[in-house]
Amino acid sequence: MLTLVVGVSTLWLAATGQLILYIHPRYVVFTVVMIAIGMVLSLGVLAFLPARDDHDHGAEEAPPGSRRPRRRRRGSSTARGVAVAAGAVVTVGIAVALVVLPPATLTSATAGQRDVNSSTASLNGTTVADAKAGDADAYKSFSVLDWAGLLRQTSDLAFFEGKTADVVGFVVPAGDDPDVFYVSRFVVTCCAVDAQPVGVPVHLDDWQSQLQADEWVEVSGGFRTNQSSTSTDPVALVPESLEKVGQPSDPYLY
């Protein structure tokens, strides 16, 4: 049954800590509890209902559920049949994907499609005033989200003077300049569906020769006026060190 497919997959994701690839951590407990109830019920179905219902296996051709009143007219048109078949294919395909494919984060394809830094409110978590009050240690722990927010709020170089960013994210090419890319993370409010990409622009001549889109990198460096003439970002990170890293176990920010 599909319940078992979803149930096993979800519980496995939860057990391996990968459920957060799909939903916000605050829903994990609720999800696991409900799925567990669902699993018990669906095993209950198997335990309590005798096979006369013909419900779970081998119902390939004959419409099952003989004791339930069925639609009397069989699907009159072929269009209906096609729609049903297409639906079945989609359903089975997704069920297979759910079990077989390795779980993954969203990729730069979606980041590009959703426009890095296009939603603004999530970028206001760290304000310039907060940042001014912070000491040098605080900057060390600033994430892509914090820096992207600061860059959104001010392009005053004096503010960024002497501050070193050290951020981890994946590479998203900037659409407007070949020498600029974004170190990006997805920000998730509920689940991967609503993930919003945020990113810090990095100016690095010919970065394509070292990096590819989607690769996870750790970049550290200071902020300078963006040398690019075509880029819309006035200030960019100029890397002092740039290192390829593995994908973190919690790839999204919240």
Partner 1 sequence: MSAPLLHRDPGHAPGDAGGHGHDHAHGGPRRSSRTPLLVVGGLVALLLVVVRLASPALGPGLLPDTAQDFVTLTISVIVESMPFVLLGIVLSIVVQVWLPQAFFTSWLPRQPLLRRAVISFLGMFLPVCECGNVPLARGLVLKGFTVSESMTFLLAAPILNPITIITTHQAFGWSDGILVARLLGGFLIANLVGWLYSRHPDPESLLTKSFAAECALPTDHAHAGGRVRESVELFRREMSTMMPALFIGAAIAGGIQTAVPRSVLVTLGSNPVWSVLAMMVLAFVISLCSNVDAFFVLPFATTFMPGGIAAFLVFGPIIDVKMLALLRTTYRPRVLAQLTLVVALTSAAIGLVVNFLA
Q: Interaction with partner 1 in 205-224: which residues (CB under 8 A)?
A: 214
Give the phi and the psi of residue 123 in degrees, each rounded to 5: -90, 0
Cβ(147)–Cβ(165) below 8 Å: yes
State both tokens at 41. 């019920």
Distance separating alpha carbons of residues 227 and 239, to the nearest angstrom: 13
Q: Min. distance of Cβ 215 from partner 1 in angstroms?
A: 12
Exactly one of 76, 78, 79, 113 binds partner 1 (CB under 8 A); that residue is 113
- Stretch of 56-64, 128-136, 219-227, 232-240 contacting partner 1, by CB under 8 A: 56-64
Exactly one of 25, 41, 245, 248 binds partner 1 (CB under 8 A); that residue is 41
Nearer to partner 1, 191 or 238 (CB): 191
Q: What does DSSP assign to residue 52?
A: G
Q: Interaction with partner 1 in 125-184: which residues (CB under 8 A)?
A: none
- Stretch of 14-22, 127-135, 202-210, 237-245 contacting partner 1, by CB under 8 A: 14-22
Give the phi and the psi of residue 236 in degrees, each rounded to 5: -135, 160
Q: Interaction with partner 1 in 84-103: which residues (CB under 8 A)?
A: 84, 87-88, 90-103
Tell me how crowded residue 16 is: count the other CB atoms within 10 A of its CB.
10
- Stretch of 50-58, 129-137, 159-167, 235-243 contacting partner 1, by CB under 8 A: 50-58
Residue with tokens 């096993």, as numbered in its chain: 8
Total residues contacting partner 1 by CB under 8 A comes to 97
The verdict on 105 binding partner 1 (CB under 8 A) reads yes
Q: Min. distance of Cβ 103 from partner 1 in angstroms?
A: 8
Q: Min. distance of Cβ 25 from partner 1 in angstroms?
A: 13
- Stretch of 130-138, 192-200, 217-225, 231-239 contacting partner 1, by CB under 8 A: 192-200
Sort residue 17 into left (φ over 0), alpha (ψ -120 to 50) or beta.
Answer: left
The verdict on 82 binding partner 1 (CB under 8 A) reads no
Nearer to partner 1, 24 or 163 (CB): 24
User: Helices marked H in the chain — which ranges?
Assistant: 2-15, 28-48, 78-100, 108-114, 128-133, 136-141, 144-153, 157-160
Q: Residue 5: which residues within 8 A CB-CB, separation 6 or more?
A: 95, 98, 99
